[in-house]
Amino acid sequence: MEIDRQKKAEVLQHTVKHIDIKAHDPRALIDAYKQMSFSARELGRACELYERMLQDERCTIILTIAGSTSAAGCMQAYVDLLRHNMVDIVVATGATVVDMDFFEALGFSHYRGTQFVDDRQLRDLYIDRIYDTYIDEEELQHCDRAIKEIADTLEPRPYSSREFIGEMGRWLAANPARAVKADSLVQVAYELGVPVFCPAFSDSSAGFGLVTHQAERPDRHLSIDSVRDFRELTQLKIGAENTGLLMIGGGSPKNFAQDTVVCAEILGHDVPMHKYSIQITVADTRDGACSSSSLKEAMSWGKVDASAEQMVFAEATLALPLLAAYGYHGGSWKKRERRRLARELAAA
C-alpha cells in the first residue's frame, strides 16, 4: 500500500507530552477536595489512603495499570512512582508495557489528534487511533521486530512475563543507541529491581514479535508462562506483611493482583487480604462487572479489606497525576526501604 508521506507528516505533528508530577504540588487543592462531595471527596480520601500506604513501613505497594493512560500522557508519572520508591510491584497490560512504554523507549512518540476524523483515511496513512491519540503503525511494527530481536537472543524455554520484561529492560540498558528514551518504565524497573508482570502479555505488540519468533524457530523458541507469573506474584504476596493496591482502570491486572490472596490460601498459606486498595475507574457496577468487581464486593471473595478501600469514579488522566503528585510532594516515600523484589525472584 502506497502511503501519502506528506499527509501523514501533517497529521502526526503534535506529540503527547507526559505530565511531570514533580513540577506540580496539588496538596492544597486536594485538601480542599476533602471538604467537598462526590468525586472530589473520593479523590481526597484516596490520596489519604495512598499516604497511609507510603507511611506503612510493612506495606508492599502494587500498582496495576489497564487502559491507555500511558499513551495519553501519564507514563512519566508511572516512572516517577518507581524511581521515587512509591511502588514496589507493577502489574499491567501488555499494551502499557510494550505498545506505549517500550515503544517510546525506542524513540517513537504518541501524537495528539482528534476523535472527529475519517478512520478510513487514518488506515490509508497507517495511523492507529486511541480516541484522540494517534500512533504510527509503521513505528509500532518496528517495536514488534525489536521484541522478536530480543527473543531471538534468549535461551529457548518458558519465561514468565516478568522475566521477559526484565530482559527487555536489560536490552535497553545495554543498547543506548537503540534506547533513545532512557527514562522508560521498563528500563527503570530493570535498574531498580521492580518486578513488572503482564498477565496477558501476548495481547500487545509483544504478541506479534513472539509469534514471528516462534514461526521462524518451530523447534527452538521461547514461550510466556502465565501460570508462572501467577505463582511468582503470589509468592511476593506470601512474603509481604501488608499489601496495598493502587489500581488504574481494572481488567486482568486488577484481578490478577487481587487473586493472589486466594491463590496463597489454596497453596496452604494464611495471608491477610490486601490491607489498602484504591481504584480509579470509569466502569459501572450495575452490570456486575466494574472491571472485576467493586472493592467492597471483592471482600466477599477474601481479596480486599473493605475497611481501607476507596473507589474513585473519574477518568484516570485527570485523577492519577493529582494522586501521584500528592504522594510525591508529601515526601513519605523518602523514608521507605527499597525492596528490589525482582532480584529476590531471580535468586529463588
What phi and psi, each to the nearest 5 degrees, are found at residue 119? -70, -20
Position of cell 535468586? 347
Query: Looking at 237, 303, 334, 335, which residue is catalytic?
Result: 303
Q: What is the SS3 assignment for 128? A: strand
Residue 47 falls in which region: left (phi positive, over 0), alpha (psi -120 to 50) or beta: alpha
Handedness of CA 236, 237, 241, 244 (dihedral sign): positive
In angstroms, the Cα distances linking 132 to 13, 100, 116, 274, 282 are 13, 15, 8, 35, 17
Residue type, 287: D
Does 296 qualify as catalytic in the annotation?
A: no
CA 146 to centroid of chain Cα atoms: 20
Q: Are 68 and 133 in contact (CB under 8 A)?
A: yes
Residue type, 136: D
The Cα angle at residue 244 between residues 285 and 81, in degrees rounded to 5: 105
Half-sphere exposure in the Cβ direction for 129 (13 Å, CA): 16
- Please list the active-site residues: 303
